[in-house]
Amino acid sequence: MIYPAIDPVIFSLGPIKVHWYGLMYLFGFAGAWWLGRLRVRRPGAVITTREMDDLLFYAAVGVVLGGRIGYQLFYGLDSLLADPLQLFRIWQGGMSFHGGLLGVLLAMWLFGRKHQLGFFQLTDFIAPLVPVGLFAGRIGNFINGELWGKATDLPWGMRLPCLEFPRYCEQLPAAMLYSLPHHPSMLYEALLEGPVLFALLWWFSSRSRPTMAVSGLFLLAYGLFRFGVEFVRLPDAHIGYLAWGWLTEGQVLSTPMILFGLLLLVLAYRGRETDDAAVS
């Protein structure tokens, strides 16, 4: 398969350029808003329909600011120090999920203080809404030609045009027009972090669960999915592997998510057992 090298710009209006990457974020927020409107209709919903709009605004600011700042701190601190203005060029890509997660958590804390709601009540509510945004973001990565995996002989591996992707053709003869086939690892992440994670969380949250359980499952499942895909995804060229010829920055950042997710699940169900014992 040949990667089509899609133009990241949809159209231009004078100096204004509309990028696919930005549009994917818009799709993600719109999808999360729609799903959130469905969730607030469920019995026992922690927020109202009107508060849902306010919640989405808080979450959107947290995603964009946290994701961009996190990417620059985790993956591009040197380049940020050399050119601080690149922090604002989000249309060029470069968003960190882990930074976005921290931004959303801070936003939920602020929203909870404003509306006098529990922190984990809010994170349990929004967790099933996140995969639609993750899916859209990974499709944006594909359109931008980012986050390719290792070379592969699998039939869905993609050859990249050497003119646009010289990094993947460095070891090949100069006459080669295309690279060896590579894992489309961003599409693996789109599938796992999007439809698979959404189905898991939507099903799990469809019944009453103890506080922290949905949040814990989200952290655990996302962390495992991301950790696994990193084995076939090439690390950022300026970072490389951190240890043992396979450990990546993404795996290091995902490990605390896995552990904290397990901890939340244990605390959630241990708390339920304690409550049941007290009632009996």
In a domain, 271, yes or no: no
Q: Coil, helix or strand for 172?
A: coil
Res 198: pLDDT = 97
Res 42: pLDDT = 86
Other beta carbons within 10 Å of 212: 23
Res 279: pLDDT = 37
Residue keyed to tokens 């930005």: 22
In a domain, 235, yes or no: no
In a domain, 99, yes or no: yes
Res 7: pLDDT = 85
Res 66: pLDDT = 83
Integer angstrom CA distances of residue 39 from 8, 95, 129, 206: 34, 27, 9, 9
User: For the chain, what is the domain count?
Assistant: 1
Q: Coil, helix or strand for 178?
A: strand
Integer angstrom CA distances of residue 212 from 1, 7, 14, 265, 267: 43, 42, 48, 7, 8
Structure letter (DSSP) for residue 195: I
> Which residues sit opposite 161 in a β-bridge?
178
Give the whole-angstrom CA distance, residue 47 versus residue 50: 8
Domain of 149, in residue numbers:
9-164+179-207
In a domain, 35, yes or no: yes
- Contact call for residues 21 and 7 (beta carbons, < 8 A): no
pLDDT tens readout for residues 112-159: 999 889 999 999 999 999 999 999 989 999 998 888 999 999 999 999
pLDDT tens readout for residues 225-234: 999 999 999 9
In a domain, 258, yes or no: no
Res 11: pLDDT = 84
Token digits of residue 85: 């203005």
Res 89: pLDDT = 63
Res 268: pLDDT = 95
Token digits of residue 84: 């601080």
In a domain, 68, yes or no: yes
CA angle 263, 188, 66 (to 5 degrees): 55
Res 215: pLDDT = 96
Res 148: pLDDT = 93
Instruction: To the nearest 10°, report the CA torsion of 160, 24, 234, 148.
Output: -20
In a domain, 259, yes or no: no
pTM here?
A: 0.86
In a domain, 247, yes or no: no
Structure letter (DSSP) for residue 18: E
Residues 6+ apart with CB under 8 A from 103: 61, 62, 63, 64, 65, 66, 67, 69, 70
- The residue ranges of the chain whose pLDDT is under 50 are 275-280
